Copies of this chain bind each other. A is one copy, B any other.
Amino acid sequence: MATVKLIEYAAASPEVRTVYDDIMATRKTDWINNFWKALAHHPPTLRRTWESIKQVMAPGALDPLVKEMIYIAVSATNGCEYCIRSHTAGARKAGMTEAMLGELIAVVGMANETNRLANSYQVEIDEPFMK
C-alpha cells in the first residue's frame, strides 16, 4: 500500500483529470497506472512530472525504445522495483525482444561492476578522456 491515497479518475479534481486525459491520449490507452495516481496527491508534482516525461520520452535523436532501455538501466542500478517492472513492460511493448533484454541487462551488470573497480583503485583519468 502506498503512503498516500491513490486518486482514481472518478474522484479526481478537474486539474488532475486534465493530466490523466493527456496521459491516456498520448499513450493511446484507457488506463492510468498507480504511479500517476500517487503523484496526484500533489497536483503540481503530477503535472510537472508528466510534462517532463512527455517531453523527454518523445521520439527525437534517440528512438523511444532506446529511451525505455536507458530507463531500465537506471532503475535497475537504483533498485527501484516499480520502475524496473513498469519500464520492462513498456520496453517490451515498444518492441524490445528477449535477446535485447538479455544484452541490456548484461551491460547494466558489467557497468555496475567496472564502476566499482574504477572506484576501488581510484584510477586516474587518462588525458585523452579529459578533452
Instruction: Give A residues with C-beta under 8 Å from B.
Output: 1-4, 31, 33-35, 38-39, 41-42, 44-45, 48-49, 52-53, 55-57, 60-62, 66-67, 69-86, 88-89, 97-126, 128-131
Please determine whether B41 and A98 come into contact, CB atoms closer than 8 angstroms: yes
Please determine whether A129 and B69 come into contact, CB atoms closer than 8 angstroms: no
Query: Can you tell how many copies of this chain the complex includes?
Result: 6
Q: Which of the residues B1, B62, B111 comes within 8 Å of A103, measured between beta carbons?
A: B62
Contacts of A60 in B (CB 8 A): 99, 103
* Complex Cα spacing A71 to B95, Å: 21
Contacts of A83 in B (CB 8 A): 111, 114-115, 118
Contacts of A62 in B (CB 8 A): 69, 100, 103-104, 107
